Amino acid sequence: MKFRVVEIFASLQGEGVNLGKPAVFIRLAGCPIRCRYCDTKYSWDPLGGVEIDAEEVVQRAAAYGQLGHVVITGGEPLIWRNLHELACPLRRLGTVEVETSGVYPPTPQLDACVDFYDVSPKLSNARVDALLHPHYPRSPKAWFKFVVGGEEDVEEAVRYVEKHGIPRERVFLMPLAETPEQHAEVLRRIWDAAVKHKLRVTPRLHVEAWGNVRGR
Ligand SMILES: C[S@@+](CC[C@H](N)C(=O)[O-])C[C@H]1O[C@@H](n2cnc3c(N)ncnc32)[C@H](O)[C@@H]1O
Ligand SMILES: Nc1nc2[nH]cc(C(=O)O)c2c(=O)[nH]1
Ligand code: SF4
Ligand SMILES: [Mg+2]
């Protein structure tokens, strides 16, 4: 099975439940959702990247050394209906985490090979119609990151969590930011609302360190 791969790189997981873990990132091409704030628009074209066989992707990922954790991202990786043909062999390299908007459900074969879903449900600040699939709130493997730019977004996230029955202990707020300056400014804006609503906050480590650059 071949996949269109935009980039493969080693970095620290900059977001969410596996924050700070050294990981190999595999960014697949294609995303039909098109969030207004997306910091990875170069991944949207489904014909972008290069076509690589799953086993070759695993070899290239393995070349970074046994980092122990692999992140499949995009783009929207769940549009690839045979994603298990990549996720399952990647388990040879460690735990497997999938970054997703949560719009598309995993197949049972994929779910068996995933350790973490890092789900980013879309609030009105994304300016898209993207419904969270009911598979994720009830999955013990799913963690949730709401991109927020200020207090109003935090309040919307609180309503969203309640409406969709998302377990609060699996929820993170994450600054809508592409530069270290924006990141610090948004953190200050959401800080008290996060405390008030007892919601965890995840930074975007790579944005704080490098801004929005490829391969980091
Ligand atoms: C590029 S997306 C790829 C995975 C998947 N399409 C998704 O949206 O979760 C990876 C993560 O970056 C987040 N993201 C994208 N642009 C952002 C921005 N400008 N500020 C904060 N988070 C952003 C997304 O919400 C998601 O959590
Ligand atoms: N360091 C780092 N961590 C990340 N976590 C999720 C990312 C993504 O683009 O999916 C990402 C990324 O692009 N870089
Ligand atoms: S779903 Fe993810 S990759 Fe697609 S536009 Fe939104 S943030 Fe970007
Ligand atoms: Mg990124």
Closest CA to 17 of 105, 106, 120, 101: 120
Residue nearest to atom 6 of ligand 1 (CA): 76
Beta bridge partners of 147: 174
- The CA 118 to ligand 4 mean position distance, Å, reads 12
Mean pLDDT of 158-185: 98
Mean pLDDT of 93-108: 98
The answer to whether 35 is annotated as binding is yes
Q: Is the peptide bond before 74 cis (omega within 30 degrees of 0)?
A: no
Residue the block writes with tokens 């200050």: 188
Residue 136 confidence (pLDDT) = 98
Contact 74 CB / ligand 1 (< 6 Å): yes
Residue 4 confidence (pLDDT) = 98
Say what the alpha-carbon torsion angle 76, 78, 84, 89 is, to the nearest 10 degrees. Answer: 20
Cα 120 to Cα 67, 74, 92, 138: the distances in Å are 24, 12, 26, 15
Ligand 2 pocket test target in 27, 35, 71 with most atoms within 8 Å of CB: 71
Ligand 2 pocket test target in 5, 12, 15, 17 with most atoms within 8 Å of CB: 15
pTM of the full structure = 0.98
Contact 170 CB / ligand 1 (< 6 Å): no
Ligand 3 pocket test target in 33, 34, 71, 129 with most atoms within 8 Å of CB: 33
Tell me the ligand closest to 120's alpha carbon: 1
Closest CA to 144 of 108, 106, 175, 116: 116
The answer to whether 121 is annotated as binding is yes
**ipTM metric:** 0.99
Residue 113 confidence (pLDDT) = 98
**Which of the four pLDDT bands, split at 50, 70 and 90, describes residue 59?**
very high
Q: Could you tell me the two tokens for 18?
A: 């596996």
**Which of the four pLDDT bands, split at 50, 70 and 90, describes residue 180?**
very high
- The CA 162 to ligand 4 mean position distance, Å, reads 27
| Beta-carbon count within 10 A of 159 CB | 10
- Rounded Cα–Cα distance for residues 202 and 59 (Å): 31
CATH topology of domain 2-210: TIM Barrel (3.20.20)
Share of the chain above pLDDT 90, in %: 100
- The CA 36 to ligand 3 mean position distance, Å, reads 9
Strand order in the sheet with 116-119: 50-53, 2-12, 22-28, 68-73, 94-100, 116-119, 142-148, 171-175, 200-201
Q: Where are the domains of the chain?
A: 2-210
